[in-house]
Amino acid sequence: MAKNNSSKDQKSKDLKQFEKDAEGKVMTTNQGLKVNDTNNSLKAGERGSTLLEDFLLREKITHFDHERIPERIVHARGSAAHGYFELTKNIKKYSKAGIFTDTDRKTPVFVRFSTVAGSKGSPDLARDVRGFAVKFYTQEGTWDLVGNNMPIFFIQDAMKFPDLIHSVKPEPNNEIPQAASAHDTFYDFVSHSTETLHNHIWAMSDRAIPRSLRMMEGFGIHTFRLINDKNESHFVKFHWKPKLGVHSVTWDEAVKINGADADFHRRDLWDAIEAGQYPEWELGIQVVADKDEHKFDFDLLDPTKLIPEEMVPVEIIGRMVLNRNPENFFAETEQVAFLPGHIIPGIDFTNDPLLQGRLFSYRDTQLSRLGSPNFHQIPINRPIGEVHNNQRDGHMQMDIPKGQTAYFPNTLGAGCPHLAKMSEGGFHSYEERIDAKKVRTRSESFSDHFSQPAFFYRSLADWEKAHVADAYTFELGKCKQTYIKERMLYLIAEIDKDLAKKVGKGLGMEIPKSIEKPVNQAIGADADVKKHQPPKKKNYLDTDPALSQANTKFESIATRQIAVLVADGFSMSNFKSMKKALEKENAMVKIIAPHGGKIKCDEHMEHDVDAAIMTTESVLFDAIYIPGGKKSITTLLEESKYKKFINEAFKHCKAIAADKEGEDLINETFVANYKDDKAILINEKPQSFIDAIAKHRNWERMDIAAKVPA
C-alpha cells in the first residue's frame, strides 16, 4: 500500500513539474515565429478559398504528412477491389462530365476501403470511421472521390487535421492504445473542439462497426460543384447506397471477431468477389442550386454538416459493381494514390476549408509515401488516356519521353503538346467571384455544433440509441481523467439530456451544470470567444429516416454466412432442403462439426467440414441452423461449445433454426425458455428462416439477450 501511495505522490510531483515547465511557453513555428492561431487557415474572406501563401498551414500539414513512411499515416489498414461504374441517368443539366452524360459508358474503377486510426496491422473491427475511396478511370482523366462511410467529418478546417489525428493515435509516451479512440488524449481534444461532436456521435453509433465493407454507405463528405456546358454551377453531395443495405455488428461481436478473425472485413470482401457475389452500390447525388446556397439553417461549406435527405432527396444516377480482386496487394492496394484534387471537366471544388486543405495535403502525402512525383506512373495510378506534358525526370521515372523540347511555348517541337480549348475538353475552373479581406478565421455560420448531432440521435431507433449510450459509456470509462469525462458529459447533455443521463449512470457520475473553460477552443488567441461559441441547438427537422439503419434494405440474404451445426448421422433430408433454399438466395452454408475433414449424414454420404467447432466462433456467422438426426444431436450435446455457440448467437439477436431432434440441443441452452421469439424457428419452413435472416437481427430481443450468461 505504501508503495502505491509513493507512486501516486511521484505522479503528482511529475504533473506539477510539467505544469511549471509549461508556464510561459508560447507556440511557435519551426523557425521560432510565435503563432497566433493554429486552428484556422488563411482565407479570402470568412467563407473564401484557402490561400497558397498560408505558410503556417503548409508547415503544419507538410510536417504531419511526412511523419510516417511508407505506411499511410491514416487509412493504413485497407482492402480494395476493381470494378466498373455505369451511369443510369443522364444529368447533363447539372454537369458536362462524360461520366455523368454518357449512359453507354462502362468506366473502370478501383475502390479502397479502410479504417482510419489504426496501423496497417491493426484489426478490421475497430470502432472507427471507414474510408471509402473510388478512383474513376474516365476518358477525360482520373477522378478520385475520396470519402468515408459517414457523411460528415470531425473538423471544419484542414489546419486542425494534425491535431485530430495526433489526439486519436496511440499516446506518444507509451504507444497505447492501438486502433482505438477510448483514451484521454482523444477525449481531451473532442471536449475542447465541439465541432467534432457530430462526426463523433456517428462514430459512437453502429455505423462505426459495419457487418461488411459491402454493407456500408459511402459519402463524398464535402459539398462539391457540378458545372454544365453552359458554365452554370450547382452544389452537390455524393452518396453511395449499398445494394445489400446498411448493416452492423454489435460491439460485443466486434471485440470477439477481432480475436477470432482480425481480417474479417478483408476476407469477407475477397471471398464474396471470388464467389461471384459482386458488391454493388448505387451512386446518388443531392443537388442544390447556387441561388439556394444560404437557404438552410446550416452552412453548405461546413464539412461537419449533412444535408438531410428529407430536405434534399438523393437522386440515384448510376451504379458501381466490384467484380475483380487485386492480383497483388502491395502493387495495387498499397500503392494506389487517391487525391481529392483529381477532378475532370464538369466537377469543381467549393471553398469548404477542409477540402481546400486536402487538395494540398494528399499530394504532399503521396510524395512522401511513394517517394517520387512520378507516382502517377505506377500501373494502378495510370489514367486510361495518354499523358502529354513537359514534366521530366525525377526519382523512378518509368516513361521515356522523346523529343528535343520540354517547355511551352515552343516551335522546335511543333508546339506540342498543345493547349486544349474548353470545347475540346480542356479543364476550366469555375469563375467564382471573390471579393474579400485576407483573414485567418472561420465563418460564424460554422458555429452550430449541437443541432445536427441531436438531429442524428433523434433519428435513430431505440436499439441504435442504446448502442450509442453503451459506446459513450465504454469509451469514457477507459479515460482516466475525471475532468475530461465531466466535460464530455456536459457536452453530451447539450446534444441530448436523456443520452447524457444514461452515460452518466454507466460512469457513476452526475452531469455537470457548467464547465470551467470555454466550450469551443477551436479559435485563435485573439479571436472573439463569444462570437465563436456554439449556440443552443435548433430543431429545423425532427428526424430523417435515412439516418437510421432500422430503415435500410432487408430483402436479401446474399453472402450471409450460415453455420450448420452437425455431427455424424445428421438428417440429410432436413439439411438438403434447407441448404437448397439458402443457396438459392445466395447465402453461404458452412458445416461446423466436432472435427475437421469429413462427416457422414444418416444416408452415409460424406460431406466436407468447413470448420471444426474448436476453430471457429458464432460471431463469424449471421445465423445458425441445426438439422435433426438423433445420433448427430447426441454427439453435439456432449460438446459444451455448441451450447455456447447457440447462446451467443441468441445474445447477438441472430436467427436460429432447428429441425426435429435439433430442438433437443436448443432445449439445453438459454434459448429454451424463449422459443416463441420470432427469430427462433423450430420445425418451420426454410422460407421463415430466410425471412428472419434478411431482417439482420431481431432487436426486440435486446433486453432478454442481455441476460444471456457469458
Active site residue 75: yes
Active site residue 696: no
Taking CA 121 as the corner, what is the angle to CA 116 and CA 123, rounded to the nearest 5 degrees? 65
Amino acid at residue number 377 = Q
Q: Which residues contact 400 (CB under 8 A, 6 or more apart)?
A: none
Burial 35-70 (b: 16+ CB within 10 A, else e): eebbbbbbbbebbbbbeeebebbbebbbebbeeeee
CB 411 within 8 A of CB 427: no
Give the burial class of 515: count Cβ atoms within 10 A of its Cβ; 0-12 exposed, 13-18 middle, 19 or more buried: middle
Give the integer Cα–Cα distance in Å for 185 and 188. 5
Give the integer Cα–Cα distance in Å for 216 and 149. 6
Cα 98 to chain centroid distance, Å, stands at 28
Q: Which residues contact 516 (CB under 8 A, 6 or more apart)?
A: none
> In the numeric block, which cell numbers belong to residue 198?
457530430
CB 220 within 8 A of CB 240: no
Closest to 285 measured CA to CA, from 219, 232, 229: 219
Give the integer Cα–Cα distance in Å for 568 and 566. 7
* Phi and psi torsions of 198, nearest 5°: -70, -55
What is the residue whose three cell numbers read 475497430? 126
CB 330 within 8 A of CB 87: no
CB 130 within 8 A of CB 111: no
> In the numeric block, which cell numbers belong to residue 280?
454493388
Q: Which residue of the set 39, 40, 82, 148 is catalytic?
A: 148
CB 420 within 8 A of CB 426: yes
Taking CA 292 as the corner, what is the angle to CA 287 and CA 298, rounded to the nearest 5 degrees? 90
**Omega before 170 cis (within 30°)?**
no
Q: Which residues contact 427 (CB under 8 A, 6 or more apart)?
A: 343, 344, 345
The pairing of strands 611-612 and 606-608 is: unpaired
> In the numeric block, which cell numbers belong to residue 683?
420445425
Q: Which residues contact 198 (CB under 8 A, 6 or more apart)?
A: 152, 304, 305, 449, 452, 453, 456
Q: Which residues contact 486 (CB under 8 A, 6 or more apart)?
A: 509, 512, 515
Q: Which residue of the set 75, 239, 376, 696 is catalytic?
A: 75
Give the integer Cα–Cα distance in Å for 220 and 151. 7
Measure CA of the first residue to CA of the last residue in the chain; give whole Å.
33
Give the integer Cα–Cα distance in Å for 587 and 589. 6
Q: What Rg do the C-alpha atoms of the chain give, in angstroms? A: 28
Catalytic residues, by residue number, are: 75, 148
